[in-house]
Amino acid sequence: MATTSIINKLSNNYPVAEKVKGVFTELTRLVVVPLIGLLVFLLLWAAAAQNIDTSLGKFPGPAAVLEQFGSLYDEHRRERVKEEAFYERQHQRNADRVAKDPGYQPKIRAYTGKETFLDQIGTSLVTVMSGFLLAAAVAIPLGIAIGLSKTLNSAVNPIIQVFKPVSPLAWLPLVTMVVSALYVSDDPMVSKAYLVSMITVTLCCLWPMVINTSVGVASIDSDLVNVSKVLRLRALTHVRKIVLPASVPMIFTGMRLSLGIAWMVLIAAEMLAQNPGLGKFVWDEFQNGSSNSLARIMAAILVIGFIGFLLDRGMLQIQRLVSWDKTSADR
Amino acid sequence: MNWLKPFKKVVAAGVIGVSAVVTFAHAEELGYPEKEELKFGFIKLTDMAPIAIAYENGYFEDEGLYVTIEAQANWKVLLNGVIDGTLDGAHMLAGQPIAATMGFGTSAHIITPFSMDLNGNGITVSNDIWEQMKPNIPKMADGRPVHPIKADALKPVVEKYKADGKPFNMGMVFPVSTHNYELRYWLAAGGIHPGFYAPHKGDTSGQINADALLSVTPPPQMPATLEAGTIYGYCVGEPWNQQAVFKGIGVPVITDYEIWKDNPEKVFGITAEFAEKYPNTTIRLTRALIRAAKWLDENDNANRPAAVKILSQPNYVGADYEVIANSMTGTFEYEKGDKREVPDFNVFFRYNATYPYYSDAIWYLTQMRRWGQISDDKSDDWYKELAAKVYRPDIYTKAAKSLIAEGLMSASEFPDFASEDGYRAPQTHFIDNIVYDGTKPNDYINKFTIGLKAGDKL
């Protein structure tokens, strides 16, 4: 949007001096000011870090964190090399055994080494997206049903209001126990830890979506509802043709809120339950107490923040694409 | 490939027939593991080293085992993981399988075919307490304190806190941990009462009649808890004593080597059900661990620096190389700069460290009785039967014999299996000079001044 306004100004018939000045002020606002902001932040950070002494050494400044990004990436590459060697050895061993014991069905087992920082990012992203999609699959139909029926709304509303403010960490022990009790399989498709994190995320990001969807559905313009009545649309067609399109902006506002919550919840859940992912990475480094630990935790915090930001922007773009009410995205 | 199916069946039947014959012919040879993918848990302590080494040196893979190793949050989480099957086995406190099998705390039949190490713990007090203790400790010619430091030096400090009405809090890692018993042993030997348990009355805090109040803190959090002032001292494994020295927040006063020379420390615990269901896997994982332990002690600790490098990786212990190396390479730093030789601070293989002696299990049982975790008198036979239920030298012996047969190890590296009865000769090197004979547990309990004796019940 900002770039289009620059182009607009350029193409209009401003006098040249005005034009240059306009571009300059825009540039300043868009590039220079944020850069100055960032620079001041880095300086303040570096200065503050110098003065904070912890028992693990100085608080990490920007340079130390950058160095850890480098070493985390090196670790990742080394681990990949080890992984290749692991598979090679395994093939060899399987072949040897088949030669000796022809009845043996060779099986390739997944790499047993540690998860690197990049792997943990991947795990966290997969967990948060699956938890979020599961929540959406439950919340949107439920929200529509509640929005359409006043009776159902008054029946369900108290339950939603009570569960909505519950912290994820309160759910965690229950989820852990229930999953271990119910999910019993000799050759599980997905790990228990993954299920526990995912369900905790789902439970926590369900509510904003339900509430926003139901409010969106309930507040559809009565003209639209009347049109549907006049045309005698059947219930499903009414939902498909009138309700869904009309409430899309609200649904997406709810989804964006939920995804933000989901990401925050996930990190906390991983930290507490020691489930693989970025949260576990932070906790492990805290427990290690090595001289690099604080810088590594800081690196993880930056990554968590950046991913949260990208997730939010991504949802915003989708919202803009599918929504007829362009102002809703900026709410 | 559906058309292949009938054909496959015929081949499979043939193979089963052949393999049955083959198994029969090589009845002595160790079979393939029944379960190949395993997950082991550990707590971030240097004595988990045999597991890390067995993985990194490929000993597990040599046995056809594909092992994932995972750090656990605390001892309780770890034990529950083994019981509910999320973990196949784990680095455990020697007392854990014993207490679980006995039903103190969480109840489950856990066994151990492999004892992981000797020694390796220390007791650290905060700088403030150290300053108050120091005047009570005799000095050597060069001004450094004489070691071992007895709890007698701490006694006046504890008494002062008591007189002021302030609780004297100390940390240990688990109610049935070696650290709890070692800390209690040291305190009691210096006349400080560490408190009784009374599980039959529902009291499992262990603070009845206590001068010093002991409570549980997970090992990696010990230094932080000491720094916060919640506890004045703690007993824990490495690297968390050396960490306190490096951070400048506390001073290790004694190692467990000085409390009881060559005391058994961690064990490798699995459920009895696992061992029964997967006998070959059990023997094979024991073999891998024995080889790792041997590597750790080989050529006078020559491999220790390499081991420290592995342990300092973030996925294992993760503390700095220097911190771990301090205790793993034959020295121990007490007060900052006061580094002394303790070559046997960590023993993984020498002195038959890996053999699961019944007498080791019984020592822990005697301490459980002494401090009231076992509320009633038990006969000597009861002690022996329970020890035999948990400690499984039979599995160890099978693993060791197969290693000897394959030429990977020599018979001289193990106890003489023909005559070994599982009881060490009476042990003398305790800080209070009381002799321990594993065959007479009740006699031993009666020798202590502080503690429950035969006939006592709270």
- How confident is the model at residue B8, as a pLDDT? 45
- How confident is the model at residue B28, as a pLDDT? 55
Quick check: is A329 in a domain? no
- Same domain, yes or no: A9 and A84: no
- Same domain, yes or no: A38 and A172: no
- Same domain, yes or no: A109 and A33: no
Q: Is the dihedral of CA B155, B157, B162, B163 positive or negative?
A: positive
Measured in angstroms, the CA of B278 and the nearest CA of chain A are apart by 14
Tens-digit pLDDT profile for residues B218-262: 888 899 899 999 999 999 998 899 989 988 999 999 999 999 999
* Range B404-428 average pLDDT: 92
CB atoms within 10 A of CB A152: 14
Q: Measuring CA to CA, which residue among B260, B244, B270 is closest to residue B433? A: B260
**Structural domain total, chain A:** 2
Instruction: Please report residues of A whose CB lies closer than 8 A to that of B221.
Output: 287
Token code pair at residue B386: 């329970």
pLDDT surpassing 90 at residue B171 = yes
What percentage of chain A exceeds 90 in pLDDT?
32
**CATH number of the B121-259 domain:** 3.40.190.10
- How confident is the model at residue A326, as a pLDDT? 60
* Range B112-131 average pLDDT: 94
Look at the block and give the residue holding tokens 């010990």: B222
Instruction: Please report residues of B whose CB lies closer than 8 A to that of A274.
Output: 71-73, 77
Quick check: is A90 in a domain? yes
**Torsion, Cα of A228, A231, A235, A237 (10° steps):** -90
Q: What average pLDDT does the structure give for chain A?
A: 85
- How confident is the model at residue B18, as a pLDDT? 43
pLDDT surpassing 90 at residue B169 = yes
- Same domain, yes or no: A180 and A36: no
Does residue A258 contact residue A135 with C-beta atoms inside 8 Å?
yes
Measured in angstroms, the CA of B220 and the nearest CA of chain A are apart by 6
Q: Measuring CA to CA, which residue among A213, A194, A212 is closest to residue A202? A: A194
- How confident is the model at residue B343, as a pLDDT? 85
Confidence of residue A225 (pLDDT cuts 50, 70, 90): confident
DSSP, res A238: I
Confidence of residue B311 (pLDDT cuts 50, 70, 90): very high
- Same domain, yes or no: A160 and A16: no
- Same domain, yes or no: A116 and A166: yes
Instruction: Please report residues of A whose CB lies closer than 8 A to that of B317.
Output: 288
pLDDT surpassing 70 at residue A12 = no
Does residue B176 contact residue B368 with C-beta atoms inside 8 Å?
yes
> Apex CA B317: angle with CA A190 and CA A188, to 5°?
10
Helix (H) or strand (E) segment spanning residue B271 = strand B266-271
Domain boundaries, chain B: 37-118+264-445, 121-259
Confidence of residue A3 (pLDDT cuts 50, 70, 90): low
Check B220 against A288: CB less than 8 A apart. Answer: yes
Check B223 against A289: CB less than 8 A apart. Answer: yes
- Same domain, yes or no: A81 and A162: yes
Tens-digit pLDDT profile for residues B355-409: 999 999 999 999 999 999 999 999 999 999 999 999 999 999 999 999 999 999 9
Tens-digit pLDDT profile for residues A242-264: 888 888 888 888 999 999 999 99
CB atoms within 10 A of CB B317: 32
DSSP, res A328: G
CA–CA separation, B169 and B213 (whole Å):
5
Class of domain B37-118+264-445: alpha beta
Cα dist. A209→A108, A149, A317 in Å? 42, 17, 18
Quick check: is A58 in a domain? no
CA–CA separation, A100 and A264 (whole Å):
53
Does residue B149 contact residue B137 with C-beta atoms inside 8 Å?
yes
Measured in angstroms, the CA of B306 and the nearest CA of chain A are apart by 18
Quick check: is A202 in a domain? yes
CA–CA separation, A287 and B180 (whole Å):
21
Q: Which segments of B57-175 does DSSP mark as H helices, in order?
A: 59-62, 75-84, 95-102, 127-133, 155-163
Confidence of residue A4 (pLDDT cuts 50, 70, 90): low
Q: Which of A115, A288, A297 to mutate to test the interface with B (most CBs of B within 10 A)?
A: A288
One-letter amino acid for residue B45 of the chain: L
Tens-digit pLDDT profile for residues A49-90: 888 887 777 889 899 999 999 999 999 999 999 999 999 999
CA–CA separation, B307 and B329 (whole Å):
10
Residues in chain A: 331
A109 and chain B: CB distance < 8 Å anywhere? Answer: yes
Which of the pair, B243 or A3, is modelled with greater confidence?
B243
Q: What average pLDDT does the structure give for chain B?
A: 89
Does residue B162 contact residue B199 with C-beta atoms inside 8 Å?
no
Instruction: Please report residues of A whose CB lies closer than 8 A to that of B312.
Output: 290
Q: Measuring CA to CA, which residue among A21, A38, A26 is closest to residue A2? A: A26
Check A103 against B18: CB less than 8 A apart. Answer: yes
Cα dist. A302→A69, A261, A293, A296 in Å? 10, 17, 14, 10
Check B247 against A285: CB less than 8 A apart. Answer: no
What ipTM score was computed for the predicted complex, to two decimals?
A: 0.74
One-letter amino acid for residue B53 of the chain: I
- Report residue B457: phi and psi, to 5°: -145, 135
CA–CA separation, A42 and B235 (whole Å):
42
Domain range enclosing A19: 2-51
* Range B158-166 average pLDDT: 93
Quick check: is A331 in a domain? no
User: In angstroms, how far apart are the furthest CA atoms of chain A?
Assistant: 88
The residues that bridge with B93 in the sheet, in sequence order, are B266
* Range A153-182 average pLDDT: 85
pLDDT surpassing 90 at residue B73 = no
Q: Which of residues 220-279 of B touch A (CB under 8 A)?
A: 220-221, 223-224, 227, 243, 247-249
